[in-house]
Amino acid sequence: MKTLNRYLIGIFLTILSFGAFAAEEEPSSFSALLTGVSSGVDTFFNDYLGWFVNLIFYSLPVAGTKFPLIVGWLFIAAIIFTFYFGFVQFRRSGLALGIVSGKYSDPNAKEDGEVSHFQALTTALSGTVGLGNIAGVGVAVAIGGPGATFWMIMCGLLGMASKFFECTLGVKYRTILPSGAVSGGPMYYLRDAMAERGFGGLGKVLAIGFALMCILGSFGGGNMFQANQAHAMLTYAFDVPPEYGIITGVVLAALVFSVIVGGMPSIASVTEKVVPYMAALYLGMGIIVILMNLDQIGAAFSAIFEGAFTGAGVVGGVLGALIQGLKRATFSNEAGIGSAAIAHSAVKTKEPITEGLVATLEPFIDTVVICTMTALVITIAGLNVAPFDGAGLTGVQLTAASFSDSVGIFKYFLALAVIMFAFSTMISWSYYGLKAWTYLFGEGKSMEMIFKLIFCMFVIVGATIQFGAVIDFSDAAIFAMSIFNIIGLYFLMPIVKEELASFVARVKSGEIKKYK
Amino acid sequence: MKIKDTPIDLNKAILQKGPKFRSHTVIFQNNVADLKPTMSSLAFCLVYIVVGLFLLALAAIVYHNKKQLDFTLFLGGVGIAILTFGITLVMPFVKQVTFDKNTGSYKNNIDRKVKLENIISLQILNKMVTSKHGLSYPCYELNMLTKNGRRINVLNHNDIDQLLSDAEKLAEFLSVELIDLRHEIIL
């Protein structure tokens, strides 16, 4: 194993040296080589995985536009969960804030290694602020116009119920693997909770389906999209040629490699500590831009509301704006996807419902607050004009251009934040993917190593690709997870309803004490 | 000044985190027990140093070829940050940690020296390293307890077989008892 590790490091270092040398000595042939590689990989994704993308985004013609069924699938599920749990995200928001503020925690009974509620909140914040808020909003308004923002907000508000539901189940049905590692998420609740409800066979099928899609999602949206947008940001901020994405990819892959293959907790800890500051930096920049343009806020909100209900300049009109808003909001807050349930299952708590309630805050902060802020900055800058067909600036470049339109230096801070967010998201998704991988193939050093090496390879592929197929695949893989997750969630609604009722009753009776 | 009697919770881990690999092994030579970093742990720390140096070199190339100051500063800044991080990671590995019977002392270059005669026991503890956005895994500590109630961490890693073997040999070397305080962890 040690020898293998050393060889791998050697290979990485050789690539690094080659990248630097080639960049200096033969820029034209190097560029041609990289463009060829990029084009080849994109063609491969298009030819061999295009069917998968088409299947996941299968669309029906509705009011003259193509409506992807998967978008309706997620939106309708969020509406049903909202009604079924009695608008838990609004009615129990006080309880959620109380849990986060430590109202229900005994200050004298803090367990070893237990994180404080403030830490839990900052972790949640840093986990939600990412490229979905920066690049995703840029894509949504570039294609869906300002009106897409309204639908993002709606999706965020409803998605709070989905997140409450899946994160509660994630904690309730987590398991301790033979190695002692804690594992949880849809794979486990689909298998175990469905069996409890008498649907064991279906549960196993759904769990396997989810795990497969989660692995693909970890390679796609959780990896390639992140690396791709990190390099796109460097291209925008510093005019780095797109074909040099391989260097960005190799550097990121080396760092990801050290964390996921080496198991170094230090860099992961540093990332966890730095990312909240990056999130604060991003929020601070957004607030500054908004404050500098206070007189345009009214007009920006008008554009958002008008666009939501007129769909002016958007391909597909209102429906087009709605589709983009819902797609990007889901990509950003991951509600209904199932990934958050994996992350939340590692938390130390005896009450699964508390984690579910805390999780409701994430789509709110992520989509309702931060995505709206990004959309306002873009709308205020006015660089995104009709027709909204994505032909102009889009994604992270549109967002960055809008920020630097008010304060030029912001593009540098944004570049730093984007790279940090991309890196931390890749680490998180490597963890989700690995959990799904070990669910399917069991724990074992060799099998885990295969996943980790493939994951690192995809970092390089993602940063290298310049064309659309990789982005389409990234989207499809993430959305595909929701198909299996939500089918199971429909069967498991009574379990969480009972759990919620019990928790609320115990809070009211004083069995669960208030300490503040 | 009155000194308070504060009970020591031996079950409480000294360090919250720890690596998911074997970071050190104990090597016995003559009258000295040395904690040696493993090659793989050093190699993974070196990744950061290499990446940091690479970015610094790239910054120099960019400045030399294009005179692009903003990108040079960006690359240089990130490179220095990663390099510094790598160096701080390597430092604990290269610091000498020894139990020396010739001098009768234990030194780790972090805590003040401890006389070997003052070490009363070694203890093995288990803990769960958890993270919401990362791996969660069991990790183990080998700590020593001194006569005046100090607890000092000796080993902290994920390879329990190696840690048990090292702990037994070390306890025999120091002629102190080895207490296994591993317990079931309920999340």
Going residue by residue through chain A, which has 516 residues, state the pLDDT in tens, using 9 for 90 and above.
444 444 444 444 444 444 444 444 455 676 777 777 777 877 888 888 889 999 999 999 887 788 899 999 999 999 999 999 999 999 999 998 888 887 887 766 555 444 555 555 565 555 567 888 888 899 899 988 999 999 999 999 999 999 999 999 999 998 877 766 678 899 999 999 999 999 999 999 999 999 999 999 999 888 998 998 899 899 989 998 887 888 999 999 998 888 887 665 555 566 666 777 888 888 899 999 999 999 999 999 999 999 999 888 787 788 888 998 998 898 888 899 998 888 888 777 788 999 899 889 889 988 999 899 999 999 999 888 878 877 788 888 899 999 999 899 999 999 998 998 888 888 888 888 988 998 999 878 888 889 999 999 999 988 887 667 777 887 898 899 999 999 999 999 999 999 999 999 999 998 888 877
The structure tokens 């119920």 sit at A161
* Contact of A147 with A325, CB cutoff 8 Å: yes
Strand partners, B119: B146
* Contact of A480 with A243, CB cutoff 8 Å: no
* Contact of A355 with A347, CB cutoff 8 Å: yes
Residues composing chain B: 187
> Per the CB < 8 Å rule, is B135 touching A434?
yes
Q: Which amino acid is at A431?
A: Y
| B142: enclosing H helix or E strand | strand B137-146
Q: Per-residue pLDDT averaged across B105-119, rounded?
A: 84
Task: Choose the closest CB to A254 out of B39, B47, B133.
Answer: B47
What pLDDT is stored for residue A251 in this prediction?
93
B5 φ/ψ angles, rounded to the nearest 5 degrees? -85, 105
d(CA A101, CA A103): 6
Helices B69-94 & A225-238 angle (0-180, nearest 10): 130
| A439: enclosing H helix or E strand | helix A410-441
d(CA A267, CA B13): 21
* Contact of A227 with A255, CB cutoff 8 Å: no
What pLDDT is stored for residue A494 in this prediction?
96
Per cent of chain B over pLDDT 90 is 40
What pLDDT is stored for residue A21 in this prediction?
41
What pLDDT is stored for residue B186 in this prediction?
60
Tokens found for residue A71: 């978008």
d(CA A179, CA A182): 9
| B27: enclosing H helix or E strand | strand B24-29
* Contact of A377 with A289, CB cutoff 8 Å: yes
d(CA A59, CA A69): 6
Residues composing chain A: 516
| Domains of chain A with bracketed CATH | 71-509 (1.20.1740.10)
Residues 6+ away with beta carbon under 8 Å from A407? A285, A288, A289, A292
Mutate to test the interface with A, among B87, B131, B159 (most CBs of A within 10 A): B131
Residue A123 in contact with partner chain B when CB distance is under 8 A: yes
Query: Which chain B residues are within 8 Å of A279, Cβ to Cβ?
Result: none
> Per the CB < 8 Å rule, is B17 touching A2?
no
> Per the CB < 8 Å rule, is B131 touching A180?
no
> How many C-beta atoms surround the C-beta of residue A408 within 10 A?
9
A348 vs B82, residue with greater confidence? B82
d(CA A287, CA A281): 10
Q: Which amino acid is at A433?
A: G
| A9: enclosing H helix or E strand | helix A2-25
> A311 burial class (0-12, 13-18, 19+ CB within 10 angstroms)?
buried
Tokens found for residue A148: 């897409």
- A127: closest CA of chain B, how far (Å): 8
- Asked whether the ipTM of the predicted complex exceeds the cut of 0.90, the reply is no
Query: Which chain B residues are within 8 Å of A13, Cβ to Cβ?
Result: 50
What pLDDT is stored for residue B123 in this prediction?
93
d(CA A299, CA A258): 48
* Contact of A321 with A144, CB cutoff 8 Å: yes
Residues 6+ away with beta carbon under 8 Å from A375? A137, A140, A141, A146, A148, A149, A152, A304
Measure the CA dihedral A412/A418/A424/A426, to 10°. Answer: -140
List the 104-133 stretch of B: residues with Cβ below 8 A of A: 127-133
List the 421-460 stretch of A: residues with Cβ below 8 A of B: 424, 427-428, 431, 434
Q: Helices (H) and strands (E) in chain A — how many of each?
A: 23, 4
Mutate to test the interface with B, among A3, A123, A176 (most CBs of B within 10 A): A176
Coil, helix or strand at residue B13:
coil
Per cent of chain A over pLDDT 90 is 41
Label the pairing between strands B32-37 and B98-100: antiparallel
Q: Where are the beta strands (DSSP E) in A358-465?
A: none
Helices A297-310 & A148-172 angle (0-180, nearest 10): 80
What pLDDT is stored for residue A16 in this prediction?
45
* Contact of A203 with A194, CB cutoff 8 Å: yes
The gap from C-alpha B102 to its chain's centroid, in whole angstroms, comes to 24
> How many C-beta atoms surround the C-beta of residue B178 within 10 A?
17
The gap from C-alpha B123 to its chain's centroid, in whole angstroms, comes to 16
A387 preceded by a cis bond (ω within 30 of 0): yes
d(CA B128, CA A111): 12
* Contact of B45 with B102, CB cutoff 8 Å: no
Task: Choose the closest CB to B131 out of A23, A251, A346.
Answer: A346
Select the CATH number that applies to the domain covering B24-38+97-180 from these four: 1.20.950, 2.30.320, 2.30.29, 3.90.25: 2.30.29
Residues 6+ away with beta carbon under 8 Å from A498? none
> Per the CB < 8 Å rule, is A6 touching B39?
yes
Residues 6+ away with beta carbon under 8 Å from A79? A158
The structure tokens 């994405």 sit at A245
What pLDDT is stored for residue B176 in this prediction?
93
What pLDDT is stored for residue B89 in this prediction?
81
Give which of B176, B140, B157, B149 is closest to B44, Cα–Cα.
B157
d(CA B164, CA A122): 37
A&B contacts, CB < 8 Å: 147
- B142: closest CA of chain A, how far (Å): 17
For chain B, the domains span 24-38+97-180, 41-92
Give which of A348, A379, A344, A325 is closest to A139, Cα–Cα.
A325
> Per the CB < 8 Å rule, is B40 touching A1?
yes
> Per the CB < 8 Å rule, is A123 touching B54?
no
What pLDDT is stored for residue A272 in this prediction?
66
> Per the CB < 8 Å rule, is A24 touching B57?
no
A182 φ/ψ angles, rounded to the nearest 5 degrees? -85, 135
- What Å distances lie between residue A156 and A222, A320, A360, A375, CA to CA? 20, 18, 10, 14
- Over its C-alpha atoms, chain B yields an Rg (Å, rounded) of 21
> Per the CB < 8 Å rule, is A254 touching B65?
no
> Tens digits of per-residue pLDDT, B117-159?
999 999 999 888 776 556 677 889 999 999 888 889 999 888 8
> Per the CB < 8 Å rule, is A344 touching B132?
yes
